[in-house]
Structure 1
Amino acid sequence: MIQNPGILVTIFAFMLVLGPLVFLHELGHYLAGRWFGVKAEEFSIGFGREVAGFTDRRGTRWKFGWLPLGGYVRFAGDMNPASQPSPEWLSLPAQQRAQTFQAKPLWQRAIIVAAGPIMNFLVAIAILGAFAVAFGQNVTPPVVGRIDPAGAAAHAGLQAGDRIATLDGRRIDDFRDLQLFTALRAGETVTIAFVRDGQERSVAATIGTLKEKDRFGNISTRGVLGFYGVRPVMQPVALWEAPVVGLTQTIDIVRTTVEGLKRIILGRIPVSELGGPLKIAQVSGQSLAMGPLELVYLIALISINLGFINLLPVPVLDGGHLLFYAVEAVRRRPVEPQVMEWAYRGGLVAILALMLFVTFNDLGAFGVWRSLAGLIG
């Protein structure tokens, strides 16, 4: 077992992961706004009092806040959280008002808001595509190799050489598809359609549960069918194919994330599996300790999750803005300011409550609550 990296390495790695992703997310908003002629007044990495910064010739203040856990870009006219026209906005000179966010058509505002998450997805696609070019794409077929005699596959009657066609009706193209499907379904009974000696067959199997301890002592739980694949097949990827491969892998990860959230909501996966900033910091430090490639791959995963979370239709998040824009497009008029104000307050409370919950989860995973209970007892 490898010892966990120290607190300073963990903090440094966390900043290496989060800092660039926040910058690129906000850069997406900034570039789209600039394309449509919206003036950016502030571009901040981190929150709180400014630690360092400068003002460019366009009048944008680029700065670093003392709390590096996020960031924002503030466009001209953002005088309230909902970016709604206000008396203060109406009092601006016509030339200045034309450069504000509110003055732009609905479709342009929507693109500016969506550009942040889109940038996160583009970062992930670029990283995953580059990995595919450098190391090839794993296209190992979903064929049963060595079987665990005590596993789900053996109990269901699967044999070496069987090719898995579908799991609960979902097409399985390669061994990675199979692993992604089973990982979230520990203990669930699924229908396996497979091909043996040219004949299609099907059988029901209950996915097993595997608990693994990594080199740092972390224990993870995932679903397995109890068999190994055949010899791995790595397919070379040309440079021009990289974006497609990166996009395909990004879509697979998003789909897995959606399925994981659905199962948490339905109670099939314990909410203790949810992690927050502390868990991300821990994993960042461990990834850095394993090498730069592990850290870069983690950046791709976090970037996908950052883009996905920001697209959720929750007020305060980018997806909340897009939801109100969709309502505005249907109604042909903006949502009333007071409705948006209360929605954004509710969204802020929900986000803060979630952050508090996942932080408690993280502390529990680190053993803080057990230690406190021992001290009190």
Structure 2
Amino acid sequence: MISSFLISIGSFLVLLSIVVIVHEYGHYKTGRLLGIGVEKFAFGFGPALYKWKRDGIEYRINVVPLGGYVKFIGDEPDQPVPDELRSVAFNLAPIYKRMLTVFAGPAMNMVLAFLLFCVIFLVGFPAPAAIIGNVSDDSPAQKAGLRPGDRITSINGEPIRFWHELSLRIADSPDQPLVLGVRRADRPLEIPLTPEKITGPDMLFQFETERGSIGVSPVGMRPLMDVSDANSPAYQAGLRTGDLILTVNGKPLMFLEELPERLAESGELTLGVARGEPNILQDNPQLTDTIKIPPAPAGAWTPADLGLRSGELTIYDVSADGPAKAVGLKRGDRLIGLDGGPIESWEHFTKVVRANPGKPLTLTLIRAGEELTVSVTPKKVETLDMMGRKETYGQVGIQRMIVFNPTVEETERYWNPVKIVMRGAQESWIWATRIVKGIYLIIIGKVPTSSLGGPIAIARMAGESAQMGIIQFLMFMAIISFNLAIINLVPVPIFDGGHLLLFSIEKITGKPLGEKAMALALRIGIAVIVALFLLIFYNDFRWVFFKIKELLGT
């Protein structure tokens, strides 16, 4: 925990230093090129750790490494400018020079983000391939016939290679008929479907919006088995509950949904099995046993004939202090019914439990071949959702028996300079439009202000991205750089956008705002900034409070 904290702090300081210094350098360099005098160029705030003068400019490295600033001659209107400096004073420069100097800060952040994206796609960005790992029950994908293991190669004829391309295309197409190009076991297919319209977090920015969904994810389940009937052919052959089938007749078996088709092979079956404690994060389970299954008495084996069931609804672990433990649920129990109806999947079970905190539920299960019924009341849990809002849900304290398939990652890399520039520009446009849309939705009240994060949220995400690797950290830096650029262009006094607005008014009216109007605008700007800082710090500390509460179990 301490190492993660230090990584987060270090990553945050590196990220903030680079994006802010690049921003301020844009102001500084443009101002100097346009003949505007510079008094100071500082990294950080507070007292100087080290400073020097060059060409009449004081350069400073300050004690608090959180950003930086540029001080131009004459950038404070209420302070008189000596006659000998009037020719280089910021406030006396032509309007176009002032506007270019102010705009250069956000522009440099956009340039930084674009260059970072170009570097990322030159070095190579690892991303999940557009291979389906799981298909949700009763989803458009399931109804259309998509299966785990299908690779999506195109949408309406446009090539698709990576999962984020698939996600964004689907998200932008609610209620719009699409034709998916699919490769299934080296067979090309075309599957028509229509994404359903849902309300949820945006695929990139995590603001709540209406978007399309087909009910797929890149993470799938491996064939972890429940073999609870001691008289079944599978049990007699040596298979046991918790076994993970890795191969059938020497060929890899990656997805649970492939099992019926693979068992249909004629003759004796040889199953390669990994046996031991299930590990949900297991990337490369090792073969530990080989099980021989004799030929089926007639036709071909099915999972049901063999006595094989998915381990998805078999309990692997029971929390010591949870409701499940209190009513006697045990490891190995297989869940089959909930409130008088069948449990269709783990997704169905957790959805009902989460929706009923504090309400008794009737649970039917199989234990050692016998059917039992118990009443369990989900514990009420409070936390924060992805939007920063308080969320209350039910929890019974059980863990299922499952091993997830690792997502197939491919590297997005280009050698052609034109392609690199085009891809960098495309990624820049994607993030710029998403950020602008997010700000707009916050302003009109369609996105909760609880979704805004401050320094703590940025430090946490910077640390997480740094631990994932340098490429992921550079990607996060590019996104933050774009955020800084666009937020600074919001037309609020104090922000660069506010200055540009005032300069535009001066250009239209032929004179700057009067002192009273300028003072009022300044007070409004300060009030907005203070309110914004209070809000984001409140959200940050609210998140910290909830995490401490979760750790303490209170």
- Per the shorter chain, which TM-score range? 0.7 to 0.9
Q: Distance in 1 between matches of 2:159 and 2:90?
A: 46
Identity %: 27
Structure of higher RCO (CA pairs closer than 8 Å, 6+ residues apart): 1
8 Å contact kept, 2:155–2:180:
no
Gap regions ≥5 residues in structure 1: 213-218
Secondary structure at the aligned position of 2:91 is classed as coil
C-alpha offsets along residues 356-376 of structure 1, whole Å, 9 cap, x if unaligned? Answer: 11111111112359749x99x
How many residue pairs align between the two structures? 347
For residues 11-70 of structure 1, what are the alpha-carbon distances to aligned partners after superposition, in whole Å with 9 as ceiling and x for unaligned?
2221111011111110000000110111110111222222222111x1111112333222
**1:216 counterpart residue number:** none
Q: Which amino acid aligns with 2:15?
A: V
- Match of 1:59? 56
The one-letter amino acid paired with 2:135 is D
Residue 73 of structure 2 is aligned to residue 88 of structure 1:
no
SS at structure 2 position matched to 1:27: helix
Is residue 114 of structure 2 the alignment partner of residue 114 of structure 1? Answer: no
1:351 Cα deviation (Å)? Answer: 1.0
Of residues 179, 199, 203, the one that matches 2:167 is 179
1:104 alignment partner AA: A
Q: Give the TM-score normalised by structure 2.
A: 0.55
Question: What is the alpha-carbon distance in structure 1 between the residues aligned to residue 95 and residue 160 of structure 2?
Answer: 41
Q: Secondary structure at the match of 1:44?
A: strand
Among 88, 99, 104, the alignment partner of 2:88 is 99
Report the secondary structure of 2:175's partner residue: strand
What secondary structure does 1:366 align onto? helix
- In the alignment, is residue 74 of structure 1 matched against residue 71 of structure 2? yes
> Separation in 1 of the partners of 2:409 and 2:468?
25
Give the counterpart letter for 2:80 in structure 1.
E
Q: Mean Cα displacement is larger for which, 4-13 or 309-318?
A: 4-13
**Amino acid aligned to 1:194:** L
Kindly report which structure 2 residues correspond to 1:1-377, keeping only aligned pairs within 5 A, or say none.
5-56=3-54, 58-78=55-75, 80=76, 84=77, 86=78, 88-89=80-81, 92-93=82-83, 95-135=84-124, 148-150=135-137, 152-154=139-141, 157-160=143-146, 164-165=155-156, 176-180=164-168, 190-195=174-179, 203=194, 205-207=196-198, 224-227=213-216, 234=412, 236-367=414-545, 371=549
Per-residue Cα deviation, 1:324-376 (whole angstroms, up to 9, x for no partner)? 1122222222222321221122111211211111111111112359749x99x
1:133 CA drift (Å): 1.7
Residue 209 of structure 1 deviates from its aligned partner by 5.3
The gaps in structure 2 that reach 5 residues or longer are: 147-151, 182-188, 219-407
| Structure 1 or 2: more helix by fraction | 1
Cα distance in structure 1, aligned partners of 2:513 and 2:410: 54
Given that 2:144 and 2:192 are in contact with CA atoms closer than 8 Å, whether structure 1 keeps it comes out as no
Higher strand share: 2
Kindly indicate whether the alpha-carbon contact (under 8 Å) linking 1:153 and 1:227 is maintained by their aligned counterparts in 2: no
Whole-Å Cα distance in 2 between the matches of residues 7 and 301 of structure 1? 22
Rg larger for: 2
Shift of 1:294: 2.3
Give the C-alpha shift of residue 77 in structure 1.
1.0
